[in-house]
Amino acid sequence: MTPKRVSASQLEVEPPYPPLTLLERVPGPTIGAGSLFQGRYEIVSKLGKGGFGTVYKARQVATSQLVAVKVMHAGMADDHDRRVARFQREIRLCARLHHPNIVRLIDSGRTAKGLLYTVFEFVPGENLADLLAREGPLDPREARHLMLQVLDALSCAHAQGVVHRDIKPANIMVVPTGARRNAMVLDFGIGALVDAMAGPCPSRTATPQEVLCTPEYAAPEQIEATRPTPRSDLYAWGLVFLESLTGKPVITGGSLQEVLFKQMSSTPPPIPRPLWGHPLGELLQQATVKDVRKRNVDAEGLFWKLQACDVHALRRESFLASAAGHAQQPATTLPLRPRSQGHGLALVPSRHSPKAERRQLTALCYGLTALGPGPASIDIEEVEELISREQVRCADLVRHHHGRFAGALGEEVLSYFGCNAGPEEGALAAGRAALELLARVRSQSHRLEAERGIRLEIRIGLHTGLVGNRDMRGPAYALGTTPGIAARLSALAAADTIVLSSTTSRLLEAHFALVRGGALPVEGLDRPVEVFLLRGEQTGC
């Protein structure tokens, strides 16, 4: 039997609404276009179905405005009065959220059969997940614009004591409402609903069947089944921001268990190469710290930091190139000799030098390039002469810090530190030499750019490890993986940055300001190398 449609005028003179039984059971085929939900929402179409419920596009009979009705699955519903009361209390709190970037909550409750539901305003547009799948990475300026709006929405909610619990691209609508697209955050209150039905949080790590969030964006404390906090939302926000820049989810896996393992591991989410040394990269690192106790951020503070963050120099193409570089390792790495058994590499002393010894050295590899306004503006021989002169001055600077020249190929120069000192002294000298190299090249670049429009860039990699060496009285001929890793880090470094391996960072962390940069694949090694950015020497060291 087709349910009777109710007009707005009838509603005004015939309260209360007549009880309907059509939706007082598990949502299914009986819900279709024209049916009424709770006597006041006309179902237009089914929008989708998720793990916790079904979403319908509907029209509010009284106002004719479009709404989204979310009805929880019967299997998830619980008639326990305390849990339902808690859900209704949190939903009332969500109803107080008034923000231009938060989809408005209109109604909520439960049916006679105990099915919990919420009703939100219907927002036309495309969610961020679908947008990224269709367009790929966003321009960094648009990503910043949208993520600022999401942060402002979270700041509003957190100030009211509301935690979203499930920030992800699918819960962010991108709406073409004016001259530019804007973000609208969906589903405030759904997290409260799911949490209320789950009951008290156990004090143990959740099993895959108990994860009441989206694992790819869930903070470790959510997976541990502890109560989510505003910092949990900000962790997810950081992952969504990174995905907006790269077009790919940050945390992925072949199974749910693999995803959970990655989220729970101490390895920080990787920061794309174009953000190394950039204030935006540091901001996203702060937001995605795994340990919630060390994730010392709040939505308002991140908002103002991002507001002050200039991203105009960042290019969408650089993130595409960085992603392609991770998927296909560049073929410009140094050839390294693998050992005959097992994985990774072994030190292979030269057969022609029986007196070769092994010692721990720090390899410093830097690449120096010159960029001009165009091919007609500067002659190629002039560029080569400019680079050659600058390399000579940089070599003098390396010698000043007791570094030993090892060799050069084109724009790449390799030196060793610690030939006549201990490992820590060698690493300290290499770190100081790297900072002076960077400062010198930057100074020269500013002068050349002002005079002739030419910009110099330097990329520096440092790695400490055991090497086999011959005669340290002349050029340092070293064997092993150490020079290859230093060269690889230099090749992967962003312009005007110093990248260290984790072994070098342990020798320098007490003396220099270091920033964690994630893990990078190194050709020939069986595991990624954790890297750090060297930002400066600590005062008083």
- Binding-site positions for ATP read 70
Give the pairing type, strands 455-469 and 497-501: parallel
Q: CA–CA distance from 67 to each of 89, 104, 116, 123 (Å)?
A: 22, 10, 16, 8
Based on the number of CB atoms within 10 Å of its own CB, is 151 exposed (0-12), middle (13-18) or buried (19 or more)?
buried
Neighbour tally for 314: CB within 10 Å: 22
Whole-angstrom distance, CA of residue 496 vs CA of residue 334: 22
Number of H helices, E strands in the chain: 15, 17
Distance CA 486, CA 329 (A): 16
**What is the C-alpha separation between 219 and 233, in angstroms, rounded?**
8
Please give the annotated binding residues, written as ranges: 70
Count the neighbouring beta carbons within 10 Å of the beta carbon of residue 351: 7
* 57 φψ region: left (φ > 0), alpha (ψ -120 to 50), beta (else): beta
Helix (H) or strand (E) holding 283: helix 279-287
C-alpha span between 189 and 160 (Å, rounded)? 13
Measured CA to CA in angstroms, residue 203 lies from 21, 62, 135, 221 at distances of: 40, 46, 41, 11
| Site of tokens 């004719």 | 64
CB 414 within 8 A of CB 363: yes
451, 495 in Cβ contact below 8 A?
Answer: no
Catalytic positions, written as ranges: 166
Burial-class residue 398 by CB neighbours within 10 Å (0-12, 13-18, 19+). Answer: buried
Burial class (CB in 10 A: 0-12, 13-18, 19+), 47: middle
Residue 291: strand, helix, or coil: coil
Name the nearest CA neighbour of 464 among 494, 508, 496: 508
